[in-house]
Amino acid sequence: MYETNYHRASSVEEAGKLFTGSEDAKYLGGGQTLIPTMKQRLAAPVDLVDLGGIDDLKGIAEDSGALRIGAGTTHYDVATSDVVKRLIPGLAHLAACIGDPAVRHMGTMGGSIANNDPAADYPSALVALGATVTTSTRELSAEEFFTGMFETALEEDEIVIAVSFPVPEKSAYSKYPNPASRYAMAGVFVAKTKDGSVRVAATGAGQDGVFRIAAMEQALAETWSADAVAGISVDAGDLLSDIHGTAEYRANLVTVMAKRAVAAAG
């Protein structure tokens, strides 16, 4: 790791000031991606602004038909939260699938979505659940927020404050992990809203990160059953191909994971 200057912010405002006062800063959430990247000398911020000490960024609350999760909330806290398990069990399950126990103790929702790793789990939930991302300056829909592989709509100094998830009628996440990294080779989040509309979002497989699968959404809106998506394939031409799986295999996984997610949602 190259040398850096560490700052711990105690408020969002202070964090923003520290950031803009630096020639080259990065925000540090739980650090589970940024620290390894810095260790590999692939990132070398002059200043690191740690958001871990900002209490306002933490917490899970039910808020008029929605579930609001602070950006600094750890995966562990999401996975084990009674509120999350009651309102959106698929989201709790997803959080329990991220990394490993020690990573879940440190990693945060805000850090994960701000990085938008194409193999990360959370983006699929945000997109499928139609979540709203609140930042230090604005509100964005999930689909506005995620703009491509490792790309988001965030401005340099913008901080994710919280994510608000409308509570669905049912939802579930099914993931096929990469055997080495345990990131998603394909992860599919399915959600049926209380007004009956359906969203299906896949992560891990797409070249541009998370994507929705319209054909599955239509099929499931008509008939909510695993069989309804069994015959629907995504175009392998848009999928990732690497030593762990070809695009064709990932396309198969997307269909299989979708089936399993629907079955799990009940």
Partner 1 sequence: MTKVAMTLNGKKVTADVEDRTLLVHYIREAQGLTGTHVGCDTSQCGACVVHVNGRAVKSCTMLAAQASNAEVLTVEGLANGAELHPVQAAFREHHGLQCGFCTPGMIMTAVDMIQRHGGNLDEKTIRHELEGNICRCTGYHNIVKAIKAAADQMSALQTAAE
Partner 2 sequence: MGVEGIGARALRKEDKRFITGKGKYTDDKVLPRMTYAAFVRSPHAHAKITNIDASAALEMPGVEAVLTGHELVADGIGNLICGWMVHSKDGSPMNMGAWRALESEIVRHTGQAVAVVIADTQELARDAADAVNVDYEELPAIVSASAALLDGAPQLHPEAPNNLIFDWEIGDEASTDAAFASASHVTRMEIENNRLVPNPMEPRAAVADYDVAEEHYTLYTTSQNPHVARLVLSAFYNVAPEHKLRVIAPDVGGGFGSKIFIYPEEIVALWASKRVGRPVKWVSDRTEAFLTDAHGRDHKTVAELALDANNKITGFRVKTVANLGAYMSLFSSSVPTYLYATLLSGQYDIPAIHANVKAVYTNTTPVDAYRGAGRPEATFVVERIIETAAREVGMSPVDFRRQNFVRSFPHQTPVIMCYDAGDHDATLDAALKAIDYDGFPARKSEAASRGKLRGMGLSCYIEACGIAPSAAVGSLGAGVGLWESAEVRVNPVGTIEVLTGSHSHGQGHETTFAQLVSERFGVGTETVAIVHGDTDKVQFGMGTYGSRSGAVGMSAIVKALDKVEAKAKRIAAHLMEASEGDIQIEGGVLKVAGTDKKLSFSEIALAAYTAHNLPEGMEPGLKEGAFYDPTNFTFPSGTYACEVEVDPDTGKTEIVNFVAADDFGKIINPMIVEGQVHGGLTQGIGQALLENAAYDENGQLLSASYMDYAMPRADDVPSYQLLTTETLCPGNPLGMKGCGEAGAIGSPPAVINAITDAINNNDLAMPATAERVWRASRGALPQAAE
Nearer to partner 2, 40 or 64 (CB): 40
Residue list 174-193, contact with partner 1 (CB under 8 A): 181-182
3-state secondary structure string, the chain? Answer: CCCCEEEECCCHHHHHHHHHCCCCEEEECCCCCHHHHHHCCCCCCCEEEECCCCHHHCCEEEECCEEEEECCCEHHHHHHCHHHHHHCHHHHHHHHCCCCHHHHHHCEHHHHHHHCCCCCCHHHHHHHHCCEEEECCCEEEHHHHEEECCEECCCCCCCEEEEEEECCCEEEEEEEECCCCCCEEEEEEEEECCCCCEEEEEECCECCCCEECHHHHHHHHHCCCHHHHHCCCCCHHHECCECCECHHHHHHHHHHHHHHHHHHHC
Nearer to partner 2, 44 or 214 (CB): 44
Residue 195 interacting with partner 2 (CB under 8 A) = no
Q: State the number of binding residues for partner 2 (CB under 8 A).
A: 18
Residue 49 interacting with partner 1 (CB under 8 A) = no
> Near partner 2 by CB under 8 A, which window of 49-57, 123-131, 159-167, 238-246?
238-246
Residue 244 interacting with partner 1 (CB under 8 A) = no
Residue 42 interacting with partner 2 (CB under 8 A) = no
Per CB under 8 A, the list member of 41, 64, 195, 266 interacting with partner 2 is 41
Min dist CB 103 to partner 1, Å, is 6
Nearer to partner 2, 81 or 252 (CB): 252
Per CB under 8 A, the list member of 76, 122, 176, 189 interacting with partner 2 is 176
For partner 2, the binding residues (CB under 8 A) are 1-3, 40-41, 176, 179-181, 243-246, 249, 252-253, 256, 259
For partner 1, the binding residues (CB under 8 A) are 1-6, 8, 28, 31-32, 35-36, 38-40, 48, 50, 52, 76, 99-103, 105-106, 181-182
